[in-house]
């Protein structure tokens, strides 16, 4: 079936360090991948996306890497700040706008 999973449920990093959040997806036909950040009491907030014809995409302090061979997605956050503490979800789009979310990784930033 379709599923998107994350390797680690929790991640703690020191403020200023780089964070890497990993994700495995299962549907080879997925052509669009998205990372969301969800803070407590809020809805998911779009961070960055990547299409299946790309391997890497950079935003402000964030980079997403896509490895289609092993169906792996990662989110790198540079110089992690306390405001980055949240739950991060990877998601894949399989058809139309049906988006499948993984279970999430909770990132804690240690001051």
Partner 1 sequence: DAGVTQSPTHLIKTRGQQVTLRCSPKSGHDTVSWYQQALGQGPQFIFQYYEEEERQRGNFPDRFSGHQFPNYSSELNVNALLLGDSALYLCASSAGSGNQPQHFGDGTRLSIL
* Helix residue spans in 1-111 (DSSP H): none
Q: How many residues line the site for partner 1 (CB under 8 A)? A: 26
Distance CA 30, CA 25 (A): 9
**Of 22, 27, 49, 71, which lies in the binding site for partner 1, with binding defined by CB under 8 A?**
49
The residue (of 61 and 101) whose beta carbon lies closer to partner 1 is 101
Print the binding letters for residues 60-89 with partner 1: x by CB under 8 A, - otherwise.
-----------------------------x
Interface with partner 1 by CB under 8 A: which range of 10-18, 32-40, 58-66, 70-78? 32-40
The yes or no reply on residue 51 touching partner 1 (CB under 8 A) is: yes
The yes or no reply on residue 22 touching partner 1 (CB under 8 A) is: no
Distances (CA, A) of 100 to 10, 15, 53, 67: 20, 31, 19, 18
Find the shortest distance in angstroms from Cβ 76 to partner 1: 19
**Of 73, 93, 107, 109, which lies in the binding site for partner 1, with binding defined by CB under 8 A?**
93
- Sequence-ordered list of residues with C-beta below 8 angstroms from that of 17, at least 6 positions apart, any chain: 79, 80
DSSP 61: S
Q: What angle do CA 78, 80, 85 make, to 5 degrees?
A: 135
DSSP 83: G
């Amino acid at each position: 079936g379709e599923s998107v999973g994350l390797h680690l449920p929790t991640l703690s990093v020191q403020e200023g360090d780089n964070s890497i959040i990993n994700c495995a997806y299962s549907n080879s036909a997925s052509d669009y991948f998205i990372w969301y950040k969800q803070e407590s009491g809020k809805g998911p907030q779009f961070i960055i996306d990547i299409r299946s014809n790309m391997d890497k995409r950079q935003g402000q302090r964030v980079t997403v890497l896509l490895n289609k061979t092993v169906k792996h997605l990662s989110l790198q956050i540079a110089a992690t700040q306390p405001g980055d503490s949240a739950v991060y979800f990877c998601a894949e789009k399989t058809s139309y706008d049906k988006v499948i979310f993984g279970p999430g990784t909770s990132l804690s930033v240690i001051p």
